[in-house]
Amino acid sequence: YTTTTNGNIGRFCRRAAIEGIGKLLPLIINEEDKILILQEQLNLSIGKVIERACESIDDLRQKASNVLTKLVTSIKDNNNHPLHLYIKEFNLLEKIFYLKNKEEEKEEENKEFSNKDWLTSKGFERLSLLLNSTTYGNFALSGFVLSAGSVCAWTMENAFLAIVSYLKPHKKDIKNFLNNLLLINSKMSERQIDPTPILILFRMLFNDGQLKCLEENADNSIIFSNFYKLIYKLLFSLQTSPYAAIREKVASQLFEAFSLLIEEEEEKQINLALELLAQTDWSKWGDEKMNNSFLEIKRILKGI
């Protein structure tokens, strides 16, 4: 895994994979109009391209969207190529990725969506329709999570607004939505991907008041509890960071968190954790005392 002046090699690999899928999918139909791969493989292939179409890197988002546009358009313009019979929710994909040609545009009063618009807020708004999909919804959400947790403020804002627009008519399903986020986190953990984007999105939802229905009984909320565990897990992973500033910041955050715990039965353990956090010199990388404090705090946290 290396980088060049143009970015990391992973991006180039994903771009090549997107292009490859786009060229291969039209070829999976045999002479008898049967697909040559499993339905699950077809769903996964399209789902992964959709995930990239919703992600934070502009280059990949545009490439994935264009590949899907080309695929859907070729099927639509080819008298409904038999592949459309096997692509799940093709009507939804058509609604999003089928772009009208110039002759059709002339008949419309409003300016139509174009390939360039995938890089604008209109692109995120259009792609947010995928969140309603039973087949591709989680793929789209995975991409939106990366965008909402992006370091680019514009991408973060537009991805978040797209998610909020999806949530508005689905307020009753907020628990299901958050469970999907946790499911995505599990998959990211398996691939050793940083879960920070999910936590950033969770914080944005919290600050925007999207989680009020859960805040009323937060102490008894399994979902909140799972997110707490995710936060603590991330904090502990950073507690052994090679950077002193990060270790000290994590210790400060943990100290604040432990200070809010008022369980009488665990008071001694909490006080011990606070003492370790306050008295340990977290600036000394590889220090035995620091490592011992880390392990002891981790043990205490598991117990409470």
pLDDT bucket at 99, cuts 50 / 70 / 90: confident
Mean of pLDDT over the chain:
83
- Are 244 and 238 a contacting pair, CB within 8 Å? no
Confidence band of 4 (pLDDT split at 50, 70, 90): low
- Complete DSSP assignment for 16-56: HHHHHHHHHGGG-B-TTS-BSS-HHHHHHHHHHHHHHHTSS
Is residue 47 a contact partner of residue 55, using CB atoms and an 8 Å limit? no
Among 83-97, 219-233, 250-264, which range has the highest average pLDDT?
A: 83-97
Per-residue pLDDT tens over the stretch 29-66: 888 888 899 999 999 999 999 999 999 888 899 999 99
CA dihedral 24, 187, 154, 167 (to 10 degrees): 100
Instruction: Output the furthest CA–CA distance in the chain (Å, rounded).
Output: 76
**DSSP H/E element including 235:** helix 222-239
Instruction: Give the per-residue pLDDT at 90.
Output: 93
